Structure 1
Amino acid sequence: MLNDLIAEKLTVIFCGINPGLKSAEEGHHFSGRSNRFWKVLHQAGFTPHEIAPVDDKTIVSFGYGLTTAVARATNRADELKKEEFADAIEAFKTKMTLYNPKYIAFLGKPAYTAFSQKREVAWGAQAEEFCGAKVWVLPNTSGLNRGFSLSDLVVHYKELYKAIKAS
């Protein structure tokens, strides 16, 4: 099981698609060896050092939180069924309304496309808010996402970081 790491009025809640098997087993977000989330977060400027997955709880002290769109752990996110996103949306909306982050950053397009019911979604800032929060869609940092190099990921995440600092 992978618990949310969130608090009220955070700057950003990063929303993964769903937990990987290793993360769910260990109880730490983005703990798969090939996942680049913590490295990207640091290199984009969000944290002063690279957080180890076992220290994932410290992310809240920087004003950021972690959650997933769907709770079921899988080896690959593409193993999820459309119904699982549909079943998860109301609980997700309730959570976002309760915790009221300034931004929600969806990591990968599947959750946001399912939750917004849009067919096409561009990377980056979205025109519409979601539960009162500004929305960004960022590439997933999974090692299975070979379409984005580490430097590509950092560029996308740094855009969000710069937007936050400018607001």
Structure 2
Amino acid sequence: MPTPAPDPDLQPIDDVLPTRVANLRLLICGINPGVASARTNRHYAGPGNRFWPALSASGLVPHLVGPDDQHLLPGWGIGMTNLVARPSARATEVTAAELRDGGERLLAFVAQHRPVVTAVLGVTTFRIAFAQPTAQRGPQPDRPDLWVLDNPSGLNAHTSVTALATALAAAGRAAGLDPAR
């Protein structure tokens, strides 16, 4: 299936990173911005996305948070980025080539900025981006700093908010964050 033409009204969204990169403990990497995220410049802004409820339930943040609170994350040692900057209505519109290029860029960013843990959200996406067809959830055996978590999109209905929160808490603990704030 051909990649849909980019919507000129949808722009990439900004990364959310600490001003002092030394404070970056957990880097959360999504696939690409959805339409709601591109329109608001807020990560995981779609109404059915379960990222923010899961992060709130993980204990990695001291109170309930939503897309408008993303600016608070760097103060808690958490950053956000995406593998692919191009927004789309569905992650399935992102090509394998875009994912592989994004994987290379992410690894270069990680090598330069050294977050303690980088969590890529999306098992299938990770497998394609990093040419790891058998990658499983959790830390990767050859890269314990590189984690795979489920995609929080509402289209990924088989994963609950509770399961996502548990996985985020585990990645946060590995990054040295306190999930019991």
Q: Name the TM-score, length of structure 2 as normaliser.
A: 0.82
Q: Does structure 1 residue 144 correspond to structure 2 residue 129?
A: no
By how many angstroms is 1:101 displaced? 0.4
Identity %: 31
C-alpha offsets along residues 72-123 of structure 1, whole Å, 9 cap, x if unaligned? 1111111111111133333323222222101000111234223321111111
- Judge which range, 45-54 or 89-98, deviates more: 89-98
Structure 2: give runs of 5+ residues left out of the alignment: 1-11
Asked which structure has the greater CA Rg, the reply is: 2
DSSP-derived class of the 2:17 partner: coil
Retained in 2: the 8 A contact 1:6–1:99?
no
Distance 1:17 1:113 in 2: 12
Distance 2:96 2:13 in 1: 21
Retained in 1: the 8 A contact 2:25–2:177?
no
Q: 1:59 aligns with which of 68, 73, 84?
A: 73
C-alpha offsets along residues 53-77 of structure 1, whole Å, 9 cap, x if unaligned? 1221111110010000011111111
Counterpart of 1:120 in structure 2 is 134
Distance 1:60 1:43 in 2: 18
The amino acid of 1:67's aligned partner reads: T
Distance 2:77 2:177 in 1: 16
- Distance change (3 Å), C-alpha of 1:26 and 1:159: same
Counterpart of 1:26 in structure 2 is 40
Structure 1: give runs of 5+ residues left out of the alignment: none
Counterpart of 2:105 in structure 1 is 91
| Root-mean-square deviation (Å) | 1.9
By how many angstroms is 1:45 displaced? 1.1
Q: 2:119 aligns with which of 105, 112, 137?
A: 105
By how many angstroms is 1:153 displaced? 1.7
The amino acid of 1:13's aligned partner reads: L
Q: Does structure 1 residue 134 correspond to structure 2 residue 139?
A: no
DSSP-derived class of the 2:80 partner: strand
Counterpart of 1:11 in structure 2 is 25
Counterpart of 2:58 in structure 1 is 44
Aligned residue pair count: 164
The amino acid of 1:152's aligned partner reads: A
The amino acid of 1:155's aligned partner reads: T
By how many angstroms is 1:166 displaced? 8.6
- Distance change (3 Å), C-alpha of 1:166 and 1:153: closer
By how many angstroms is 1:150 displaced? 1.6
Retained in 1: the 8 A contact 2:31–2:121?
yes
DSSP-derived class of the 1:13 partner: strand
